Structure 1
Amino acid sequence: MTDATLDNAPRAFVRTETLPQQPAPLSVAGPLAWIHANLFSSPLNAILTLLCIWFVVVTVPELVHFYILDAVWSGASRDACLADKVGRPVGACWAYVADRFQYFIYGSYPIADRWRVNIVFAMFALGVVWLLWNRAPLKRIGVFYFFVILPLSGFILLLGGDRAQGLLRFLILLSFALAVLYLVLSFVPSLARFWTNPALLAVEQEAPPWKRFHGAKSLILLSLVVFGILAILDDRIGLLRVDTGLWGGMMVTFLISAVGIVFSLPLGVVLALGRRSRLPIIQLLSVIFIEFVRGVPLITVLFMANTMLPLFVPQEYSPDRLLRPLIGVALFASAYMAEVIRGGLQAIPKGQFEGAMSLGLGYWQMMRLIILPQALRIVIPGIVNTFIGLFKDTTLVTIVGIFDFLRTVEATLVDPTWATPTTRTTGYAFAAVFYFLCCWGMSRYSIAVEKRLAAGQKR
C-alpha cells in the first residue's frame, strides 16, 4: 500500500477531553421558560395573568401611597391626620396606632401592673420556642414547663389577689414536700444498705437509686425556682388582684387561643379514640358530643357558656366571666379536632394495628407508640388549619363582653381624640396585619414540620 493510499484512508478519532457543559436553551429552562409554563401556558392562564397584572398595577400604587408615602407616622391628636390641618393629602393615621398601642396590647389592665403581663409574655415566648425548636435541649422539662408551670404562673401573675397568693403558697409547699421526698428516696435507702452491709456501697455507687429520679429532680428544681421567684415578687412588689373585666387586647386574644389550642388537641385525641371505641356507651357519648358541638355555631356555644353554665353550679362557685368563654372555645375546638384526628386514624393501614398487637402491645401502648404518631403526622395540615381557625374565631368573644384585640381596636374608633376620616381604615388595617402575621407564622411552621417529617411525600 502506497503512502498516497494511506493518506486517503478514513481515520477514526476519539476525543480525550470532555466538552464543557452548555446552558439549557431559554425555551426549556430559565425565567422565560418559567413564565411560559406557569403564566402563559394556555389562553385562559394568559387572560388570568393579564387580569392579575392589571389589578396589581391599579391597586398597589394606591395602597403604597395611602399606607406608606402619604401616611402620618407621628402626632399627639387628630390634627396630625387632618388634611386641612397639615396642608397635604393624608393617608393612614399610624400616629393613632402608636398612641393607642399600649391599649391594644393590655386593654384596661392597670398601668402599674403591666410588668406582670410582660413577664407572662416572656414566659410564653420561652415555652413556645422550647417546644417548637427541634434542637432545643431537655424537651421533657420544656413540656412540663409549658403545660404545668406556665399556666399556674400565668394565673398567679395576671389575676393576683388572695386566691392567687393562696395557690402560690400551696405550690411552694408542694414543691418543698416533693423535694424532701426526693431526698428521702435518694439517700435513705443507700444509708440503710450501707449500715446493714457495707459491701453494697460499691454497687450503690455504680447505680445509685437517685438516678431513677433524675427527671423528677429537674422538674422539682424548676418548680422551686419559678414559684420562689414569684413569691419574692409578691413579697417585694405585691400582686394585687386585677379583675378579668379589665383584661383585654392582644393579651386576651393570645390567652383564649392558647387555652383553646392546648386543650383542644388532647381532648380531640380522646374524643377521636372514643368515637372509634368498641364500647357502645363510650362511642355513643363521643358521637353525641362531637355532632352536637359541630352542629351549632361558636356564637351559640359562647352564649350557652356565658349564660347557662352559671346555672348548673352554686352562685358562690360560678365560673369567672372570662373562664366561661375559655371553656366554650376549648370544647368547641376539641370537637373539630376530634374529626381531624379520626381522619388520620382511619388512614392508618390495618397492618399497623395487627403488627402492634402481634408484638404484645396493649391498647394504650399501641396507640401511644405506633398509631397516634403516624396519624398525627398525616393530619398536620388539618390540625394547623383548625388552630388557625380557632385563633381567628377568638374575635367572637366580643359577643359576650370580652375585650379581645379586635374589640379594643373598635373601642378606640369612637374616641374623639383621633376621630379622622382615615382612623377606621388604619385601625382595621393594623388588625389585619396582626392576624395575618400570627396565622402566617403558624402556617409556615406547619410546612416546616411537614418537610421534616416527610408527611407530604408521595409513596
Structure 2
Amino acid sequence: MSDTHAETVRYVATHELPALPAPVNTRGPAAWARANFFSTPRDTILSIIVGGLIAIGLWKLLPWLVFDSVFVAGSLNECREIDSGACFAVVTSRFNQLIFGFYPPELFWRPILAFVLMLVAFAPVLHDNLPRKMLWFSAVFPLLAYWLIWGGTIWGPLMIIAMIALAFVAFKAVAKSVNPVVGLLAAVAVGILWMLFLHDPIVSALSSAVNVGLEPVESSKLGGFQITFIIGVTGIVASLPIGILLALGRGSDMPTLKMICVGFIEFIRGVPLITLLFVASTLLNYFLPPGTNFDIVLRVIIMVTLFASAYMAEVIRGGLAALPKGQYEAADALGLNYWQATRLIILPQALKISIPGIVNTFIGLFKDTVLVSIIGILDPIGIMQPIRSSAEWNGIIWELPIFVGLVFFIFCFLMSRYSMYFERKLDTGHRN
C-alpha cells in the first residue's frame, strides 16, 4: 500500500457501530405534537380550533366540577350553603348504597371478600407466569362467591361441585367410547337430572344432619355496582366458552348440530337484550310450574350470558374464518384428529386474531348491565332514583351520573388496555 493511500484511509471499522440517537427535533413532546397536530396547515388550524373549544369548556366546567365542588355535606341544601359547585357529597354520603345496594351493612365483609377473591381467581388466567395450580381455585371461585354473597348452607355449592365432577366423569367415559359430542350431551343430561331430582333432597338431608352456612340474603337486597359486577363478570366468564362451542358448532359438518347453532345465534342476535330481560322477569314465570321460585337475578344472568354468547360466537367465527387454509392442512398432515387440531392449532390462533372483537364484546356486555334497571333491579342507574327521591338529595341531577359514568369508564378502559397488552404479548411479528 502506498503512503498516499495510507494517508487517505483514516478509519476502518472492525465491529458494528452503535446506533446514534434520533435528531433532537424528532424526539420529545414538542416533536410528537408537531407530528400529530401541526404537520400541515389544515391540521394546525383544526388543532387550534379544537384546542380553543376544549380550553373554553374546561374554563367553564372545572370551577363547578373541581374547584367549587363539595364532598362533605348532609343534604343538597347544605352543599349550596357551602359552595355553588357540584355536590359530590351525595356520592360520599350514599357511597355504601351505590356500591352494595340494600345489602345488610353488617355483612359488607362478604361481598368485599368475594371481590378480593375474584382478583385472586383472575390472576392465573390473566398472567401466565403464576402457578397453574391456582386455576383450581379459579374454577371453584364462582360457587364460593355465590355462597359468600347469597349465604345459606355450604352443602349447596358442595353438591354443585359433586354434580360437575360426576358430569365430567360421564363426559370422559362416553367421549372415550363414542365421541366427544355425545360425551358432552351425556354430561349435560347428568347435570340436568342431578339438579331436578337429586340436588335438593341431598342438600336438605345434609343440612339437617350438619347445618353449616352463612346468613341468607335475598336477591332483592342486592344492588349498586355489586349487582353490576355479579351480572357482568358472570356473563363475561360464561359467554366465552359457550361462544366457542357455538362457533365450532356453526362450522361443523353435522347438519343437525349446525342448524341448532345457527338458529340459536341468529335468533338471539335478532332480538334486543331488553326484550330478553323482559322475558326473564315476567313471561318466564308463565312457563314454570306453580310455586317455582326461580331467582330473578339468576334469570337475568342466564339471559345476559346467552345474549353475549351469540355475539361471541360470531366474533370467534370470524377468527376461525381468518385462518389460512394451510393451518388446517398442516394439522391434517400431522395426523391430528379434529379435537386435537382444534385445541392445539386452530383455536389458539383464532382466539388470538379475535382478541379485539372479544374484548369489545366484553366491554359492551359490561355496559349493557345497566339495562336491568328497567326490570326493577337496582343497579347503579336504578338506585339513583331512590337517592334522588329522598328529602336530603331531592334536586340532584348531574353528580350521580358523573360518578357512575366515571366508574364504568375506569373498568372499561382497564379492559381495553389489558387487551392491547395481551395483543402485544402474543404478537409473533408475522404479518400476512
CA 1:52–1:456 in 2, change beyond 3 Å: closer, same or farther?
A: farther
Instruction: Give how far 1:94 is off.
Output: 1.9
Structure with max Cα Rg = 1
Instruction: Give how far 1:146 is off.
Output: 2.0
What amino acid maps onto 2:310 in structure 1? Answer: A
CA 1:300–1:22 in 2, change beyond 3 Å: closer, same or farther?
A: closer
What amino acid maps onto 1:156 in structure 2? Answer: W
* Greater alpha carbon shift after TM alignment, 404-413 vs 240-249: 404-413
Matched ranges for 1:12-411 at <5 A:
12-15=7-10, 31-82=29-80, 85-86=81-82, 89-137=83-131, 139=132, 141-147=133-139, 149-161=140-152, 164-167=153-156, 170=159, 239-411=214-386
What amino acid maps onto 1:293 in structure 2? Answer: I
Aligned length: 383
Counterpart in 1 of 2:415?
A: 442
What amino acid maps onto 1:339 in structure 2? Answer: E
Contact 2:359 2:415 in 1 (8 A): yes
CA 1:26–1:280 in 2, change beyond 3 Å: closer, same or farther?
A: same
What amino acid maps onto 1:143 in structure 2? Answer: L
- Percent of aligned positions that are identical: 43
Contact 2:240 2:309 in 1 (8 A): yes
Contact 2:376 2:382 in 1 (8 A): no
What amino acid maps onto 1:160 in structure 2? Answer: G
Secondary structure of 1:418's counterpart equals coil
What is the TM-score with the length of structure 1 in the denominator? 0.76
CA 1:457–1:441 in 2, change beyond 3 Å: closer, same or farther?
A: farther
Unaligned runs of 5+ in 1: 1-8, 179-230
Secondary structure of 1:407's counterpart equals coil
What amino acid maps onto 1:144 in structure 2? Answer: W
What amino acid maps onto 2:78 in structure 1? Answer: A
CA 1:22–1:155 in 2, change beyond 3 Å: closer, same or farther?
A: closer
Partner Cα distance (2:71, 2:234) in 1: 35
Instruction: Give how far 1:166 is off.
Output: 3.6
Instruction: Give how far 1:404 is off.
Output: 1.2
What is the TM-score with the length of structure 2 in the denominator? 0.81
Instruction: Give how far 1:419 is off.
Output: 2.8
CA 1:32–1:316 in 2, change beyond 3 Å: closer, same or farther?
A: same
What amino acid maps onto 2:125 in structure 1? Answer: L
Counterpart in 2 of 1:452?
A: 425
Contact 2:280 2:296 in 1 (8 A): no
CA 1:17–1:95 in 2, change beyond 3 Å: closer, same or farther?
A: farther
Deviations 1:405-454 (A, max 9, x none): 2222343122221234xx32111110111000000010011011000000
Secondary structure of 2:397's counterpart equals helix
Counterpart in 2 of 1:202?
A: none
Where in structure 1 do 4 or more consecutive aligned residues deviate above 4 Å?
A: 9-14, 16-33, 168-172
CA 1:10–1:58 in 2, change beyond 3 Å: closer, same or farther?
A: same
Please provide the CA RMSD for this pair.
Answer: 2.9
Counterpart in 1 of 2:177?
A: none
